[in-house]
A and B are shown apart, each in its own frame.
Chain A
Amino acid sequence: MEYVYCIIDGKKIESDKDRTILEVAQENGIQIPTLCHSDVLAPTGACRLCLVEVTGARTLMPSCATRIGDLPGERIVQTHSDKVRQARRIVLELLWSAHPNDCTLCEKSGACDLQKYSYEYNVDIEKYRSRDPYDFAPDYNNPYYVRDYNKCILCGRCIRACAELQGNYVLDFARRGFSTMVSTPMGAELMDANCVFCGNCVALCPTGALVEKERLGRGREWEFQKTHTTCPYCGCGCTFELCTKDNEIIKVDSSDARKNIVNRTALCVKGRFGLGFVNSADRLNHPLVRRVPKGEATGTLQDYERAPWNEVLDLVANRLLEIKAACGPDAIGGFSSARATNEENYLFQKMMRAAVGTNNVDHCARLCHASTVAGLAKAFGSGAMTNSIDEIIDSDCILVTGSNTTETHPIVSLEIKKAVSRGARLIVIEPRNIELCDIAEINLHQRPGTDVAWLNGMMHVIIEEGLEDREFMEERCENFDAVREAVKGYTPERVERITGIPADDLRRAARIYATAERATILYAMGITQHTSGTDNVLSVANLAMLCGQIGRRSTGVNPLRGQNNVQGACDMGALPNVYPGYQRVDDFSVQAKFEQAWGVKLDNKIGMTVTRMMEVAQGGTLKALYIMGENPMVTDPDISHVEKALRNLDFLVVQDIFPTETALLADVILPGVSFAEKTGTFTNTERRVQMVRQAIEPLGERRQDFQIICEVSRRLGYKMSYSDQAAVMKEIAKLTPSYGGISHKRLETEGGLQWPCTDSRHPGTAFLHSGGFVRGRGLFSPCEYRDPAELPDEAFPITLTTGRVLEHYHSGSMTRRSAPLNEHVPTAWVEISPDLAKNLGVKEGERVAVTSRRGRIETVARVTNKVNGDVIFIPFHFAEAAANRLTNPALDPVAQIPEYKVCAVRIDRV
């Protein structure tokens, strides 16, 4: 960087010569008006509003696109001279030649840049008024937002947002002169133009041309209360401002990029348009107790009656105490929640351990990344994403496997797209043709469940060709010889027979990964949700260590965590084998530490997992279950079995915000609150702890979840009392070394902090294992390929794999109550390849039955090239055609994660 002096409005400023006048002025508190400019987009200098006068320059210069270093003479700039103000006024007056003068009715009034500057520059709206103004019909033809091009000022922000932020290129300017307009190709409807409805264009539109549909008529900009908070959907950890009025969410605003560490301005369709569930009419408002005997229950809210909180809490505590007295504490289990805050998860596991006296506490991480936690803890000593999301852009090679990133972690996928456009080489190894395949250099489609084979095959090639990083392994790892032996038999030709991946393609992929300067691996459920899940994860770790692609910036092994706070729920010890911070329950010194801190005797026996508890409940040894914010009746494998297990319990408590499929089996339903009604913290997939802030007041008799837990605990005879969630975080920090330096106070001032953050001055950690691995040396673990638990056969000849889609989330309890999402994608389907469809005689849109050994569902066929050969795909969000009626509950022996990704099915026409 080279520094030079310039004088802006008489103020002498030293600046990097490559910065623009606009940037330097803004940093020095000098405001220059802009319309086409945005901090998150490349400058285009199109609107001419940011013109400034430069001494010695022939004309006025656009400050957004002029570098300080390029200024002539002494670099004297005037940002508000008469000449400049006059020029800006004319620009604005020309915009008014066609812009409708309807600020009184416009939704954007109060936040419109044209309106703001027109006032500031005292424009004459009528001066250049056209006698022939725009006459476009506003476009309401999508569920999410309205396009009214009468109000468009052609700044191009939407076009660049679509291209630069989202990488989708749906929009561009069409036609010319006065007829110029923003258009999709051929002027097609957005629904037909590949638009993913991220709404980043809406966030950046300076006028009322693009407006969220749900906000229409519900309030003016100045009436909104704005609360900066963290998104309740996936693990990306996006932040935004909730705009609320009269206790309702009106819209989401992400336009101020500086406030949002992870996502800047970008959001996905769920975060931006999918929060209507918070104000949904069927939220639980009162505690409910089932009044009809279990045998006569209808499974609807009619079985339940309202009851006062005190009575209900007493009932919960008394029933749990009875069962504990009769059958011991281990007859009781608890499901904590990856949707709840860290503080609530901490309290929930503390209640289970200290008040109930059992380690039977787990949560849905068991069903998504249990194998990651187990595998990476074994290999590296820490089971989390090793690197950060913003490092992806500087990787030279990105290997994505078992992750449909654009749909499940949209904001992470934006970084991948940016990296690829900057020259990174993308390898996608996925059974399906996902969107990322379009920009990948190499696409390999493995048969579902054959991941150990191709991973071993890649290592075989790398070792055979001498591409491994010997120095790294010698210095930092151990047990490599065992892996070298294990992968010897995995020649690419043999791997081809197992996986279906052509041998030469595998060789090319192996070379690209091994020879990259900085290579990163991103993976998700496609790796973890197998009976070989832990082996898959260990193999991924082996590959990274073999090539020394870990412990540096932009490298690493990066499991993408699925839920807003699944990382945090694990960190908080909502797992049967560890206390907060992965401190083992069977370690005596740890036990002593927590016994002293909590003032109670604790059990050192490892508890039961979610999957194990379901099994045992069916056998009758688990008597009671306390489920907070989970919906196993949609999300667990083999739902018929889950239903039997839950019905077999003596006592089931569900604490939730909706009467979910699971809640309607409960004896008692406790109404908690959503993310918008509480304050606390979520930890995103890159270990970043961020604030969740209360935006609206809980309606009805809903109570803060942390208070409910404390009340139950107190009634169980163990006193827990905290003034607020900040006080809980204080206790967490004291007992959890990796959270030692994290407090609400710090998060308020510094934004997010990535653990490990060990003391109050620790800045947090962007990537792990930099000097050495957390466990000391990185441990290589040899893995042999094993077939999935259930292979296709004559009776069930087709392989089913399951997953998520962009517009919906897990059991759908939130997204299906958010009107635009549900309008866009109202129901389930099954993806069938054209070949398979032909063989089965099934046509697009036809109803089919899909049957496995465990159940049968009916749904609609979608014939698509997204799937290959005899592999079909069903999204699991839809209770009416629940993919999990079909899935196989066979478990990984180590992590006890079920094999959601492979089972054998049959398709019949109905």
Chain B
Amino acid sequence: MEEQLSAIFARFRGTAGEVIPLLQKTQEELGFLPEEAMRRIGDFAGVPFSKVYGVATFYTMFRFTPVGKYHVCVCRGTACHVRGADQILEHVERELGISENETTGDGEFSLETVACIGCCALAPCITVNSDVHGRLTSKKASQVLKKARGAALKEEEDGK
């Protein structure tokens, strides 16, 4: 983490106004915001740790626990809600065997719900990492997850 943070800090000047971009870059790099990283960001930007924590908890985009390799966000915005977001959520939960804000035991998948991802025309939709999957049905959702899982397995095999 030390090296990653140093690399991130190298691109900033260390001012109070940079706290949010610093948090974003750090999360991008580490997948979440560990306590030590936020403490270091505070020291670097000259902002008290308590304030960094306050800022980080204000925005839902920041997280404080590691997420799965595939992070699934189920949209519950108005359009998705009307088109059955609840069923999609229930289905994904069943499929992955975890509830909202949890991570699978193998660390592959994590699940959360979000207010709107701005793809209302494609409702109902979910995101898996940065990919959007729209016009979902339960079946299609299963395929998306399966594909991700397949990719994971393939990666693993390739790794070997």
Contacts and interface: CB of A to CB of B under 8 A. Distances in A.
Prevailing SS type, chain B contact patch: helix
Interface in B23-54: 35, 38-39, 48-54
A172 B35 contact: no
A174 interface: yes
Report which residue of B35, B39, B58 has the largest number of chain A beta carbons within 10 angstroms of its beta carbon. B58
A175 B57 contact: yes
B51 A183 contact: no
B53 A163 contact: no
A163 B54 contact: no
Contacts of B50: 169-172, 183-185
Nearest to B49: A185
A186 B58 CA distance: 13
B35 A186 contact: yes
Contacts of A175: 57-58
Interface residues on A, range: 10 to 19
B80 to A, nearest CB: 21
B51 A172 contact: yes
Contacts of A761: none
Interface in B51-86: 51-54, 57-58, 64
Contacts of B35: 185-186
A176 B38 CA distance: 18
Contacts of A176: 57-58
Given A185-B38, A186-B35, A174 B51 contact: no
A173 interface: yes
A772 to B, nearest CB: 44
Contact of A183 (B38, B52, B54): B54
B53 A172 contact: yes
Contacts of A169: 48-51
Contacts of B52: 185
Interface string A144-173: 000000000000000000010000011111
B96 to A, nearest CB: 26
Nearest to A187: B53
A201 to B, nearest CB: 13
B57 A174 contact: yes
Interface residues on B, range: 10 to 19
B150 to A, nearest CB: 37
Interface string A11-35: 0000000000000000000000000
Contact of A163 (B48, B57, B58): B48
A175 B39 CA distance: 18
Contact of A172 (B39, B54, B64): B54
Contacts of A183: 50, 53-54, 57
Nearest to B42: A185
A644 to B, nearest CB: 52
Interface string A178-218: 00000111100000000000000000000000000000000
Contacts of A186: 35, 53, 64
Contact of A173 (B48, B49, B54): B54
Interface in A449-468: none
Interface in B2-21: none
Nearest to A188: B35
Nearest to B52: A185
A176 B64 CA distance: 16
A183 B58 CA distance: 12
Contacts of A174: 53-54, 57-58
Nearest to B54: A172
A185 B53 contact: yes
B70 to A, nearest CB: 26
A170 B54 CA distance: 11
Contacts of A171: 50
A746 B53 CA distance: 50
Contacts of A184: 50
Nearest to B38: A185
A477 B19 CA distance: 53
A568 B57 CA distance: 52
A169 B54 CA distance: 12
Nearest to B48: A169
A611 to B, nearest CB: 46
B98 to A, nearest CB: 23
A43 B35 CA distance: 31
Nearest to A169: B48
A88 B150 CA distance: 60
Contacts of B48: 163, 169, 172
Contacts of B53: 172, 174, 183, 185-186
A700 B53 CA distance: 54
Contacts of A170: 50
Contacts of B64: 186
Contacts of A185: 35, 38-39, 49-50, 52-53
B159 to A, nearest CB: 34
Contacts of B49: 169, 185
A163 B51 CA distance: 10
Report which residue of B35, B39, B48 has the largest number of chain A beta carbons within 10 angstroms of its beta carbon. B48
B113 to A, nearest CB: 15
Contacts of B54: 172-174, 183
A174 B50 CA distance: 9
Contacts of B39: 185
Nearest to B53: A185
A395 to B, nearest CB: 22
Given A169-B48, A169-B50, A185-B35, 18 more contacts: A169-B51, A171-B50, A172-B48, A172-B50, A172-B54, A173-B58, A174-B54, A174-B58, A183-B50, A183-B53, A184-B50, A185-B39, A185-B49, A185-B50, A185-B52, A185-B53, A186-B35, A186-B53
20 contacts: A163-B48, A169-B48, A169-B50, A169-B51, A172-B48, A172-B51, A173-B58, A174-B53, A174-B54, A175-B58, A176-B57, A176-B58, A183-B50, A183-B53, A185-B35, A185-B38, A185-B50, A185-B52, A185-B53, A186-B64
Interface of A: 163, 169-176, 183-186
Top 4 A-B residue pairs of the complex, sorted by shortest distance between their CB atoms: A169-B48, A172-B54, A172-B50, A185-B53
